[in-house]
């Protein structure tokens, strides 16, 4: 279908938000708190009704489900020995917060402060702390100087423990890495159990905790799923709307914004949409036949992700998650989960962590290891480090 086709429908809102992931869900929800404001939220993927989105252990399945994810792959890169690395990204209401590892780790103060020191005013830790506190409802220990108690996203401690995790942490302590009771508190380095956005046995995504309740409450968010934006509409250099394709029937539609168009498509898709709309490197856009609206060479450049190396070890004299999730044992775990009891069905893919230093002279942590008493299919959780009894 030619992208120049006339739109099948046009509508006008105060704000148009592209993408309903972690960012878009919160932005749309907060904007809708303003009485009289109308918001259109466009989401390329389907609604988030698949049960594997919400059952924590379902991440194993949903992360590679093409209906609910974008399965990007990097170009072969010299730093990874010429390999392409899979980059799965959420594609449903809640975006990647509907398919991710459910770990709540806000990052360390030093990192944010280094951003501010490089001239990014407003990005120091003290600037961001009120927002970190505002989004979370910490359930469990924590110093209220750092932790929020009234936010939308419940942050809980692990309720399902495993002896091999404890052995991992004792090993870390033996290497001089102290236990840290709250890595989202005063300081990050140390080891311990991860905090999660899992509550009462279910994943609590940004879609479920922000967007959908706000839509119900305000009745002023028009959420359009299966709606993939492919062009930002400009009047001069001002974004005034978005053109999207309804992925179900390939029809083209247009939504206009009286106030702002806000792009929350994620790290890969936001720059892609900007480039398709004429914002980016003029040389590149011209070479692809895209009319240049605004020359901004950094768009689409400098992508960085956190690579991880997965180590798998054989465990003795203990049942790992692999064994616990097979046959009759799995039935028992499902029944426990249904009864609201701690169960392997309600755990995040990683359970324990170390944040530590590659050099004792470094003030913060520059290394992260996460641990699970499980092994996954090769290439599966490439961003995690796991240990296991059953390497595959």
Ligand X SMILES: Cc1cc2nc3c(=O)[nH]c(=O)nc-3n(C[C@H](O)[C@H](O)[C@H](O)COP(=O)(O)OP(=O)(O)OC[C@H]3O[C@@H](n4cnc5c(N)ncnc54)[C@H](O)[C@@H]3O)c2cc1C
Binding interface with ligand X (CB under 6 A):
18-24, 42-45, 63, 88-91, 95-97, 99-103, 105, 227-229, 264-266, 269, 273
Q: What's the min distance (Å) between Cβ of 18 and ligand X?
A: 5
The residue number with the shortest CB distance to ligand X is: 21
Closest by alpha carbon to 59, among 99, 103, 21?
99
Residue 96 near residue 22 (C-beta atoms within 8 A): yes
State both tokens at 17. Answer: 């938000």
Minimum gap (Å) between residue 327 Cβ and ligand X: 28
User: Rounded to whole angstroms, how far apart are CA atoms 296 and 274?
Assistant: 10
Beta pairing partners, 105: none
**CA-derived radius of gyration, the chain:** 22
Q: DSSP code of 9?
A: E
Tokens 């020995």 correspond to what residue?
81
Taking the complex as a whole, the smallest distance from the CB of residue 36 to ligand X amounts, in Å, to 25
Using DSSP's 3-state secondary structure scheme, residue 365 falls into coil
What is the widest separation between alpha-carbon atoms in the chain?
69
Q: Label residues 100-126 b or e (16+ Cβ within 10 Å = b).
A: bbbbbebebbeebbebbeeeeeebbbe
- Select 225 or 320, whichever has its Cβ closest to ligand X: 225
Q: What is the nearest approach in angstroms of ligand X to the Cβ of residue 360? A: 28
Length of the chain: 392
Nearer to ligand X, 264 or 315 (CB): 264
Minimum Å gap between C-beta 70 and ligand X is 7
| Distance (Å, whole) CA 284 – CA 35 | 43
> Shortest CA distance to 200 belongs to which of 343, 74, 312, 329?
343
Nearer of residues 43 and 389 to ligand X, judged by Cβ: 43
- Residue 30 φ/ψ, nearest 5 degrees: -65, -40
**Which H helix or E strand runs over 361?**
none
In the numeric block, the tokens 């599966």 are attached to 380
CB of 351 to ligand X, least distance (A): 12
- Under 8 Å between Cβ of 110 and 128: no
Nearer CB in complex with ligand X: 57/315: 57
**355 close to 339: Cβ distance less than 8 angstroms:** no
The minimum distance between CB 6 and ligand X, in angstroms, equals 20
């Amino acid at each position: 279908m030619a992208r120049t086709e006339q739109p099948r429908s046009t509508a006008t809102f105060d704000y148009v938000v592209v993408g309903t992931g972690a960012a878009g869900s919160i932005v749309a929800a907060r904007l809708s708190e303003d009485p009289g404001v109308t918001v259109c939220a466009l989401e390329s993927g389907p609604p988030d009704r698949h049960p594997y989105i919400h059952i924590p252990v379902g991440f194993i399945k949903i992360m590679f489900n093409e209906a609910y994810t974008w399965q990007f792959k990097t170009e072969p890169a010299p730093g990874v020995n010429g390999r392409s690395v899979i980059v799965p990204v959420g594609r449903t209401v809640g975006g990647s917060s509907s398919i991710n590892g459910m770990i709540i780790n806000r990052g360390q103060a030093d990192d944010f402060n280094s951003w501010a020191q490089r001239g990014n005013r407003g990005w120091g830790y003290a600037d961001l702390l009120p927002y970190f506190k505002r989004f979370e409802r910490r359930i469990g220990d924590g110093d209220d100087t750092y932790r929020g108690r009234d936010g939308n996203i419940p942050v809980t401690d692990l309720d399902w423990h495993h002896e091999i995790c404890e052995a991992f942490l004792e090993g870390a302590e033996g290497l001089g890495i102290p236990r840290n009771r709250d890595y989202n508190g005063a300081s990050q380095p140390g080891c311990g159990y991860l905090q999660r956005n899992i509550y009462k046995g279910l994943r609590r995504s940004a879609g479920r905790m922000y967007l959908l309740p706000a839509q119900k409450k305000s009745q002023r968010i028009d959420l359009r799923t299966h709606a993939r934006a492919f062009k930002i509409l400009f009047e001069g250099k001002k974004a005034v709307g978005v053109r999207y394709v309804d992925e179900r029937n390939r029809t083209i539609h247009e939504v206009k914004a009286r106030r702002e168009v806000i792009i929350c498509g994620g790290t890969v898709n936001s720059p892609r949409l900007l480039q398709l709309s004429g914002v980016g490197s003029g040389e590149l856009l011209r070479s692809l036949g895209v009319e240049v609206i605004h020359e901004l060479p950094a768009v689409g450049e400098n992508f960085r992700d956190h690579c991880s190396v997965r180590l798998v070890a054989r465990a003795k004299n203990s049942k790992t998650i692999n064994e616990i999730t097979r046959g009759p044992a799995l039935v028992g775990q499902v029944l426990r989960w249904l009864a609201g009891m701690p169960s392997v069905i309600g755990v995040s893919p990683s359970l324990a962590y170390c944040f530590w230093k590659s050099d004792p002279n470094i003030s913060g942590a520059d290394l992260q290891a996460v641990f699970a008493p499980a092994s996954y299919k090769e290439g599966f959780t490439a961003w995690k480090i796991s240990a296991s009894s059953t390497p595959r």
